[in-house]
Amino acid sequence: MSSDTKTGGRRAIIAAALGNMLEWYDFAVYGFMATILASHFFPANDEVTSLLATFAAFGVGFAARPLGAIIIGRLADRRGRKFALMVTIYLMAFGTVMIGLTPTYSSIGLIAPLLIVLARLIQGFSAGGEWGGSTAFMVEWAADNRRGFVGSFQQVSVAAGLLLGSGCAALLSTILSEDAVTSWGWRIPFLLGGVIGLVGIYMRRNVGETPVFRRNTKADRSEIAPKQNPVGLAARAFGFTIHWTVSYYIFLAYMPTFAIRHLELDRAVALWSNTVGLLVLMVMAPMIGFWSDRIGRKRLLIASCLAIGIVVYPVFNYLLTHPSIAAIISAQVLFGFLIALYSGPGPAAIAEIFETANRATGMSVGYSLAVAVFGGFAPFIATWLIDATGSPLSPAYYVLVAAVVTALVIFRLPESAHRPFR
Q: What is the pTM of this model?
A: 0.79
CA nearest 67: which of 135, 16, 128?
Answer: 128
Which pLDDT value is given to residue 288?
Answer: 96
Cβ 290 vs Cβ 149: under 8 Å? yes
CA 16 vs CA 74, 89, 94, 340, 396: distances in Å: 18, 11, 19, 20, 34
Which pLDDT value is given to residue 228?
Answer: 61
Cβ atoms within 10 Å, residue 225? 10
Which pLDDT value is given to residue 4?
Answer: 44
Which pLDDT value is given to residue 219?
Answer: 57
What domains lie within the chain, and their CATH numbers?
3-213+223-411 (1.20.1250.20)
- Kindly report the three-state secondary structure assignment for every residue of the chain: CCHHHHHHHHHHHHHHHHHHHHHHHHHHHHHHCHHHHHHHHCCCCCHHHHHHHHHHHHHHHHHCHHHHHHHHHHHHHHCCHHHHHHHHHHHHHHHHHHHHHCCCHHHHCCHHHHHHHHHHHHHHHHHHHHHHHHHHHHHHHCCHHHHHHHHHHHHHHHHHHHHHHHHHHHHHHHHCCHHHHHHHHCHHHHHHHHHHHHHHHHHHHCCCCCHHHHHHHHCCHHHHCCCCCHHHHHHHHHHHHHHHHHHHHHHHHHHHHHHHHCCCCCHHHHHHHHHHHHHHHHHHHHHHHHHHHHHCCHHHHHHHHHHHHHHHHHHHHHHHHCCCHHHHHHHHHHHHHHHHHHHCCHHHHHHCCCCHHHHHHHHHHHHHHHHHHHHCCHHHHHHHHHHHHCCCCHHHHHHHHHHHHHHHHHHCCCCCCCCCCC
Which pLDDT value is given to residue 7?
Answer: 57
Which pLDDT value is given to residue 396?
Answer: 93
CA 206 vs CA 24, 83, 199, 262, 402: distances in Å: 20, 12, 11, 47, 40
Per-residue pLDDT of the chain (422 residues; tens, 9 = 90+): 454 455 557 777 887 787 778 777 876 777 777 778 877 887 766 667 777 777 777 677 777 888 998 999 889 888 888 888 889 888 988 988 998 999 988 888 889 888 988 988 898 898 888 888 888 888 888 888 889 999 998 888 887 887 788 778 878 878 888 888 888 888 998 888 888 778 878 878 877 788 788 877 765 445 544 556 777 888 899 999 999 999 988 998 788 888 888 888 887 888 888 889 889 999 999 999 999 999 999 999 999 999 999 999 999 999 999 999 999 999 999 999 999 999 999 999 998 888 878 888 888 888 888 988 888 778 888 888 998 998 999 999 999 999 999 999 999 988 888 787 76
Cβ 244 vs Cβ 346: under 8 Å? yes
- Residues whose CB is less than 8 angstroms from the CB of residue 354 and which lie 6 or more positions away in sequence, other chains included: 230, 233, 237, 362, 363
Cβ 237 vs Cβ 362: under 8 Å? yes
Which pLDDT value is given to residue 8?
Answer: 59
